[in-house]
Amino acid sequence: GQSLEQPSEVTAVEGAIVQINCTYQTSGFYGLSWYQQHDGGAPTFLSYNALDGLEETGRFSSFLSRSDSYGYLLLQELQMKDSASYFCAVHYGGATNKLIFGTGTLLAVQP
């Protein structure tokens, strides 16, 4: 089957850097995505890694190591508005584009 593990909660202060880890076990892995979801809102796409290495998008970076079945999301220069849940999601399924989501990491940014 498929499973993903990520920490349930992380707390950090404004201006800091935080890393949210994600480990996965799945067959037919095609890539790892990260989504942000504010309380009561829709998930929004942050990044996608299909190959090993680091992808940078502004203050957010995402890393993937396929050999280690591991990835992380790095948030720099944290702002209060970054307080949200962050989900890693594995793309798998061959011809289909199913996403299997982790249970999410609740990030609390404190002043």
CB nearer to other proteins: give 14 or 57.
Answer: 57
- For 76-83, the CB contacts below 8 A with 24+ separation are 76/17, 77/15, 77/17, 78/12, 78/13, 78/14, 78/15, 78/16, 78/17, 78/18, 78/109, 79/14, 79/109, 80/14, 80/109, 80/111, 82/107, 82/109, 83/38, 83/107, 83/108, 83/109
Q: Specify the residue, 3 or 65, whose C-beta has the smaller distance to other proteins.
A: 3
For other proteins, give the closer residue by CB, 72 or 87.
87
Interface residues toward other proteins, by CB under 8 A: 30-31, 33, 41-45, 48, 50, 87, 89, 91, 93, 95-104
